[in-house]
Amino acid sequence: MSANFEPNVVAFLCNWCSYAGADLAGTSRVNYPSNIQIIRVMCSGRVNPLYVMNALQQGADGVLVSGCHPGDCHYMEGNFYARRRLGMLKDLMEFVGVDPKRFHMSWVSASEGHKWKEVVEKTVEDAKEAGPFEGFRRRQIDW
């Protein structure tokens, strides 16, 4: 692993809390690593575990899923589902030999622009430490 390896991180953010929190980070002009790419979904409960695996397969070295704080879900219970599903996924990833550092979950509210920065920094740093992901055969969807 080269010292100046820059990982490619894909983040799935719920529209109501984390995406808004990331927007607030922008409005507050906090600075964070640019290797994170955000995909907006309406709710963290929408994030199919497949997306996480798929992102790793398609070139990501790390994946982040972020939603509203447990209990604060805009859709009442979506983030509880996310927590269950993705918690299991994390165990599974470890089991199949994927460094669990590649996958993070976080709860960032619409007012936590600074927390968002910290989450990004931690996710990127961990992905950097884990190095380029070569665990899966890369299969690019032809888009």
Partner 1 sequence: MTEKPKVGVYICHCGINISSTVDVDAVAEFAQKLPNVKVARTYSYMCSDPGQVLIKKDIEEQGLNRIVVASCSPRMHEPTFRKAISEAGVNPYFLEMANIREQCSWVHEDIEEGTAKAEKLVSASVAKVRLLEALETKEVDAEPAALVIGAGIAGIQSALDIADAGFKVYLVEKTPSVGGRMAQLDKTFPTLDCSACILTPKMVDAASHPNIELLSYSEVEEIKGFVGNFDVRVRKKARYVDFDKCTGCGDCATECRVKDRFPSEFDQGMGKRSAIYLPFPQAVPAKYTIDPENCLYLSRGKCGKSPKCQDVCGAGAISFDQEDEFVEFKVGAVIVATGFDPFDASRKPEYGYDDYPNVITGMEMERLVSASGPTGGKVKIFNGEEEIEPKEVALIKCVGSRDTSVGNEYCSRVCCMYVAKQAHLIRDKLPDANIRIYYMDVRAFGKGFEEFYDRVRRENVRYIRGNPSEIFKRGNKLVVKVEDTLTSTPLEDEVDMVVLGVGLEPRADMRGVMDLLRLSQSPDGFFLEAHPKLRPVDTATDGVFLAGCAQGPKDIPDTVAQAKGAAASAMIPLARGKVTINAQVATVNEATCRGCSFCVSICPYTAIEMVTVNRFGNEVEVARVNEALCKGCGSCSAACLSDSIQPKSFRDSQILPQIAALGVLK
Can you give the binding site for partner 1, defined by CB under 8 A? 8, 10, 15-17, 19-20, 22-27, 29-32, 34, 37-43, 45-51, 54-55, 58-60, 71-78, 81-82, 85, 109-113, 117, 140-143
Nearest approach, Cβ of residue 97 and partner 1 (Å): 20
CA 62 to chain centre: 7
Nearest approach, Cβ of residue 46 and partner 1 (Å): 3
H or E stretch covering 57: helix 49-57
Nearest approach, Cβ of residue 50 and partner 1 (Å): 8
H or E stretch covering 23: helix 18-27
H or E stretch covering 107: strand 103-107
Nearest approach, Cβ of residue 77 and partner 1 (Å): 5
DSSP 101: G
DSSP 68: S
Give the nearer residue to partner 1 in terms of CB position, either 112 or 126. Answer: 112
Give the nearer residue to partner 1 in terms of CB position, either 63 or 126. Answer: 63
Neighbouring residues of 96: CB distance < 8 A, sequence distance ≥ 6: none
